[in-house]
Amino acid sequence: MKRSRFLLSLCLICCYQLCVAQNNLNSRGQPYGHWKYDKATYGVIEEGDYKVMSLVEYDSARYEQEEGSNIGKLAVKYKASRADIVTYNFDNDSLSVNDGTWNQYDTATGKLMLSTVYLNGIVLGRKEYGEDGELEKYSYTNYEADSSIYLTYLDKHVFKKEFYPPGSGTNKITQYYPNDRLHISNAEPELNVNFLSKPSVNYVINITADTNVTITNFMANGDINIINKKGQPIDLPLALTKGKAYPVTIQYTPKPARYSFYDTVAIATAGSHFTYKIICSAWSAHIDRNNVTTLQNIKLSKSKDRYLFIKGCGSVTNFSITDDDGRVSNYAAMGGRVTAVDLSEYQPGTYTVDVTMNDCETEGNGINLKIVE
């Protein structure tokens, strides 16, 4: 009984010491040991360890202090590369830095969102997780090779690898499905369509196989067709020879009533449970910067078209729709994105559309919009 009481007392003392040892500052105001932040404003809880270092422990250090702040930046040499370290309360050649693993958790769910690994303040790698807990992004620096690598995951596979070779500066190399049998020249194509002047677009990609691979199926929605270089449907199954690039054309003809910003092409191969995906971002609109100054008339159906789409230019594009009685409805397309106007909110009739793209110094005034059932 006495032994049990002793063990219980010891556990309580240890727990108390662990609690009070958290979020400590030394006499110079530098954080050290384990810290935990409840950043309710940002919806995250962040925790990890700080370490107090001497400036002499770093090679070729250059320090910069943020004005009016105790946070600074230390540029150092590390192996064959360089690193920028965030520092806290630099004082008399000593400084506090992040060390070990720092994690961020969603305050609402408690799920891990971000995990960063430090070594004496130097970032070795960073992992980002989705709401389902799956790894979405992983970035790290190969300091020995002086190269930064960024990996994006899709369906638990490395979807995209981006890296900067040594001495390349800003010359980024992008590879899709680098660890799988098929490599796609661009698995994130942008498809730009204007419903009035350019209702369809073709985008060519090259598919290369590491080994002999047979594609059994291309799967896409009704707005996308997969065709060969002659414009004909691809005969399936399609046998790819190792190392040979095969051109495939994505033909995109969207309909306003079912337009979506993202569309996906899926590729199935023989003998594999893994499906390759091409994520297409589609910028489809009736009015954009290319036709806003020349467009005079638009006729749209409430039942067939359902929406009027305007693609903005620059930070903000303002536009308005005015009816015959002078009533005005104002809209804005933010950040160059596409804004949809629901035609069900309007009665059949004739309207005037005025568009101002401030950042692009472009205006389209007095465009006649006829809405029919």
Q: Give me the CATH number covering residue 251.
A: 2.60.40.10
**Quick one: 29 and 113 in the same domain?**
yes
Q: How far apart are CA 199 and CA 341, in angstroms?
A: 19
336 torsion bin: left (phi>0), alpha (psi -120 to 50), beta (else): left
Q: What percent of the chain has pLDDT over 70?
A: 94
Closest CA to 207 of 184, 187, 229, 226: 184
The residue from 265, 284, 303 where one domain ends is: 284
Domain boundary among 122, 149, 176: 176
Whether residues 71 and 213 share a domain: the answer is: no
Residue 5 falls inside a structural domain: no
Last residue of some domain: 284, 310, 344? 284
Residue 172 shares a structural domain with residue 186: no
User: How does residue 171 score in pLDDT terms, banded at 50, 70 and 90?
Assistant: confident
Are residues 105 and 159 part of one domain? yes
Residue 52 domain-assigned (yes or no): yes
pLDDT at residue number 218: 97
Q: What is the rounded CA–CA span in Å between residue 179 and residue 303? A: 46
Res. 176: pLDDT tops 60: yes
* Residue 12 pLDDT exceeds 60: no
At residue 132, the 3 state secondary structure works out as coil
Decide if 202 is inside a domain.
Answer: yes
pLDDT of residue 314: 86
280-295 burial code (b ≥16 CB/10 A, e <16) = bebbbbbbbbbbbeeb
Q: How far apart are CA 96 and CA 47, in angstroms?
A: 15
Closest CA to 91 of 11, 12, 29, 163: 29
For the chain, what is the mean pLDDT? 90
In degrees and rounded to multiples of 5, residue 258 shows phi and psi of -130, 20
Give the pLDDT band of residue 61 (cuts 50, 70, 90): confident
Using a cut of 0.75, tell me whether the model's pTM lies above it: yes
Between residues 362 and 47, the one the model is more confident about = 47
Percentage with pLDDT > 90 across the chain: 78
Do 167 and 26 belong together in one domain?
A: yes
Mean pLDDT of 238-248: 95
Give me the domain span that covers residue 30: 22-176
Q: Is 134 helix (H, G, I), strand (E, B) or coil?
A: coil
- The sign one gets for the Cα dihedral 41, 43, 45, 50 is negative
Tell me the C-alpha distance between 344 and 242, whole Å: 53
From the list 209, 223, 208, 207, the residue with the least C-alpha distance to 256 is 223
Residues 166 and 44 grouped into a single domain: yes
d(CA 197, CA 204): 21
Whether residue 159 sits in one domain with residue 34: yes
For residue 16, the model assigns a pLDDT of 36
Answer for the pair 82, 75: CB distance below 8 angstroms, yes or no: yes
Please state the domain count of the chain.
3
